[in-house]
Structure 1
């Protein structure tokens, strides 16, 4: 199959691109290499995908460009069978400082993809959404019927994107699925996330810094589980038109997470605390029963196991990854 991955040099998109090219599919990646964090991590991902293509029957093409470029998006989508739309301006805190940019990319860019897809013969558009659409919990775990009241411009932009995808399915018959990711982590993850920050600091003998009092809870989802559900959607039409939670079904408070990482790397370190940023959700916890029913989704990696795997990967890749984390 011909697969287009927007944002395919990023963390999640890069893992999807690598996985499907290893399976022998022809993959095109569109990414603007935005320096939201050090682009060296993205360039490393591109190199990994190119090597994967050389070792498989698939092909890999990287196109440096932007989903806001409607003509470019039209051309690339016209050549694709399946589109994994992962491109976005990430970052809750960034969106608080600069709300228009996530709207331009996450809403207007998504409309470009959807418009291009409805004019072609796409088998499916899979859209990356976020647990940030929920905002303040009225109950936990979140199911897909929970009210959506985002507390950040980023969450608003993701909600708008997934609703456009739903409407394009209902109005135009475009096969779309939106996946609400819950705090994804794993190898090559963004350096400005809690897990990568904690691991980097502890590895270098510095105490992990917890924002707020650490009582915030997160449903952390291992990258392999995210890749698996996206791969399922390549050929499974059971969820067309749907919006699905994709999480781990468990959660952990940030204070305990910092302790788990500290205890594995350097138990002598003390935790430090900083001010909790505006726009951060207080709690996330996914009910994934809908994804399980429709797609057979079953998360495979509990947070402590996943963190241990990430620490091992960090140590094995420290020579290239750590300098880029420290610069970000």
Structure 2
């Protein structure tokens, strides 16, 4: 599917991945409407920091993904919907699980209902590698069992299954992209890589962290954005779930060492109990099988493997270390 001449909607456009995706779509010459969470400050989130030429070309819709009327209004005249709006912080899902059900499941239902009623050509629904829980085998294929080891993961499993149900029940053209741990500029400090980098960038040498043994498949933001665009354009992804990852497994401990090496500092690690997930909730191992993405639309990571990971860390650290960017973070406080 050629996106040229199509009207594209990005929900969650004010967030980390959503802002990068929105900018790349605009730079590619596409007609983009950005759905962002309403606030009285008229803030566009990270899109406030976009280049003026990009901001001028974005059509902004402020609303709430939990409101079916507003969602349908935002989707009118749109051909393709990239649905990213969600609550994503795992620790906060322990604190307020009800909000995750409303936002992640009910919000997704609102998008699907509107897509069905309006005849939208395609919905790209955003999943997460957290739905797999601790790997039963690696690399993890799309057929891996789903395990809700946190309220967040459970809400995303529910949203994913709802999306697939609309494809099977009503032939709603839905594709599910399942990114593994995306990182890069603008990511919230609740995530481990920005947590480490922001602490170092502010001069800390005793870095507070939780468990160091779990492994992750970290995927650089540019690769994730390309994955979204490829899924949207592929005619073969309707009704499919597709992993997007770096095909590289690294522990949190090794990640700390890589960041320290790139930032040229010596650090000590201090275990912070409040940063540790409950034992049975911790996802111990994630490593993506990306065979399906390669097969369906020949996607593969540009930042894959150890060298690619190190380059992605370098670019991320450079962004966070800029004073204008670092000042937007509270590195001395734990953000759930």
CA contact (8 A) 2:7 2:31 kept: yes
RMSD of aligned Cα (Å): 1.9
CA contact (8 A) 2:134 2:286 kept: no
Within the candidate set 144, 147, 150, 2:145 is matched to 147
Q: Does 1:193 find its partner at 2:195? A: no
Q: Secondary structure of the equivalent of 2:300?
A: coil
**How far is the alpha carbon of 1:267 from its aligned partner?**
2.6
**How far is the alpha carbon of 1:208 from its aligned partner?**
2.2
Q: Secondary structure of the equivalent of 1:233?
A: helix
**How far is the alpha carbon of 1:321 from its aligned partner?**
1.7
- 1:73 is matched with 71
**How far is the alpha carbon of 1:319 from its aligned partner?**
2.4
Residues in 1 aligned to 2:325 and 2:156: alpha-carbon distance in whole angstroms? 29
CA contact (8 A) 2:262 2:313 kept: no
CA contact (8 A) 1:9 1:33 kept: no
Residues in 2 aligned to 1:50 and 1:251: alpha-carbon distance in whole angstroms? 38
TM-score of the superposed pair, with normalisation by structure 2: 0.89
- 2:283 is matched with 281
Output one character per residue of 1:83-106: Cα deviation in whole Å (capped at 9) or x when no partner.
000000111111111111111000
Residues in 2 aligned to 1:250 and 1:108: alpha-carbon distance in whole angstroms? 34
Q: Secondary structure of the equivalent of 1:234?
A: helix
Total equivalences in the alignment: 317
Alignment of 1:35-114 (within 5 A): 43-48=45-50, 51-54=53-56, 59-114=57-112
- 2:319 is matched with 313
Moved over 3 A (4+): none
Q: Secondary structure of the equivalent of 2:9?
A: strand
TM-score of the superposed pair, with normalisation by structure 1: 0.91
Alignment of 1:1-328 (within 5 A): 1-32=6-37, 43-48=45-50, 51-54=53-56, 59-206=57-204, 207-212=206-211, 214-275=212-273, 276-278=276-278, 279-301=281-303, 302-315=308-321, 318-326=322-330
Residues in 2 aligned to 1:31 and 1:98: alpha-carbon distance in whole angstroms? 21
Output one character per residue of 1:170-189: Cα deviation in whole Å (capped at 9) or x when no partner.
11111111111111011111
**How far is the alpha carbon of 1:197 from its aligned partner?**
1.1
Q: Secondary structure of the equivalent of 1:324?
A: coil
Say if 1:319 and 1:7 are closer, same or farther in 2 by CA, change over 3 A. same
Residues in 1 aligned to 2:20 and 2:261: alpha-carbon distance in whole angstroms? 29
- In structure 1, stretches of 5+ residues that fail to align are none
